[in-house]
Structure formats: structure tokens, C-alpha cells
Amino acid sequence: MSRRLFLGVLLAVVVLTAFGGLAFWGYSAWNEAEAGVQQVRWVNVTITIPADSDIYYARLSSAPQSMARGIMGPVVALGTRGGGSLVIVDATTGEVVHGDVQPSERAAFDAVLATLEVVETEVGGEPGAPWPYGSTLPNTPRQHFENISYVDPDPASGVSVQVGMGDFIEPQPPGANQFVRVFNGRSQMHINGAGWVSITGGAELTLPEFLQADASLLQGIHPDDRAAFQRFAEAVEVGPPPTIPVAEDAAP
């Protein structure tokens, strides 16, 4: 099971979107490799992390260290448990744009970076493709955020999930503030705790509507990703929204 640790040095809180009286705040997290050797994909880059490695990875839309170099797009971040080392890789070109590695950790980082490849082939939809492009649901524990439960995509799929909270000007249905963001660098959707799916471009559908939606309503999701994103959404479970305790009136 992936262990998620909130980033302090790199990105603790990221403003994802702001429009129409809504601001999304997303929490980026380190991910620990599974028990075995794990291939991780993000946009055009794949890396392989050995089973005995202490290196964590994060797939991000951007990072301050790369933005300082004029690179505004997605990156892969590699770090260690104590936060002593940090490497940022441009997920489009594979270029290492930031490297601050402790001497004692250099060999471990070199071993992981030696596996870095830039690939342009798409993740296929054949039965053996990594879920959610393939149909085989991973046998991994479900992740939970507030009242939303989901299954993490296979790291080799290139689909990342982040969780966050939204701030609205207007009142919203219970559960609408919390969401999971599903994205892969070219396609994106948000599923909130009220059971609604928001798609870049303005479409907002219930989960059942999204699973049956016509392609004309899914313009924010690349055609090659639509079946995979619907497959991910089909595995999402939304429970009753958390209740906020009401404070009793103070005694006179």
C-alpha cells in the first residue's frame, strides 16, 4: 500500500483551480514504492524504483524548483524519508532540472535515475495494460479521503490522484468541498464528496451520468483516456458526507 506523506519542502498546498467563486486546494504527497520493483510513469517519463530503495516519488503539475528554471509543466520529484535529498525531473523531456543529493544517498539516486526513460508510446487499452487502462482492478487496499473511497491507479498507468478541499462563495451540497483530482498531464477530472464529477471545460455530472456520458460532454478528457477515467470513476465509492458537530448553546 502506498504511504502518503504531505510535502513540506517541495509543495505543501497547491492552488489547482480558481473560477466562478471556487478555489481548489490540493495536497501533493510522496508515494512509497510497493513491496516489489515498481515502474512509475508520469507524462513522457518512466522510472523504476527497486524494492529496497528508500526513495519516494511524487508526480506533480509543477514545482518551484523547476519553475525557477522556466519550466512550468509537470515534473517527477524524487526524495528521501528525511527530506535531505531532492531531485526534480522534467516529465516531458526527462531532463533533471534540480538536484540536491546528500553524498551518502548519491548511489541510490544514481541507480534510480539510471532507469529513467522518455517514452512517447501511449498506455494501451489492451487487457494487460495497467489499470485503469486495463480492466483488472489492482488487489490493493482502498484509499479513503473524508467520505470518498477509491482505488489507486497502477503507477505504470501514468494516472495520478491527489486529494484536496474546495472553498465556495455560494452554499454547496454536503460533501461538495472535498474532492479527489484524477489527472495524467493531458486529462483531468475532479470527483467530490457529493458524488459529482467536474471536468475541465465546464461539464458537471453525477457519477452514474459520467459513466454513461456521451463523448461531447467529456471534452476535458482526451479520447484515449476516457474509458480509463470512467473505469476509475466506476470504482469510486461515495459515502454519507461527514457531519459537522453543532456546538450546544452555552449555559447562561
Ordered by start, the domain boundaries in the chain are: 4-19+27-118, 143-238
Mean of pLDDT values over 179-203 = 89
Residue 225 pLDDT greater than 70, yes or no: yes
Q: How far apart are CA 176 and CA 219, in angstroms?
A: 22
Rounded to two decimals, the pTM is: 0.79
Q: Which residues are CB-neighbours of 193 under 8 A, at least 6 positions away? A: 146, 147, 148, 174, 175, 176, 177, 178, 179, 238, 241
Residue 212 pLDDT greater than 70, yes or no: yes
Coil, strand, or helix at residue 231?
Answer: helix
Residue 102 pLDDT greater than 80, yes or no: yes
State residue 203's pLDDT score.
Answer: 83
State residue 65's pLDDT score.
Answer: 84
| Residue 6 binned pLDDT confidence (cut-offs 50, 70, 90) | very low
The residue that leads in pLDDT, 29 or 198, is: 198
* Nearest Cα to Cα of residue 33 among 49, 47, 20: 49
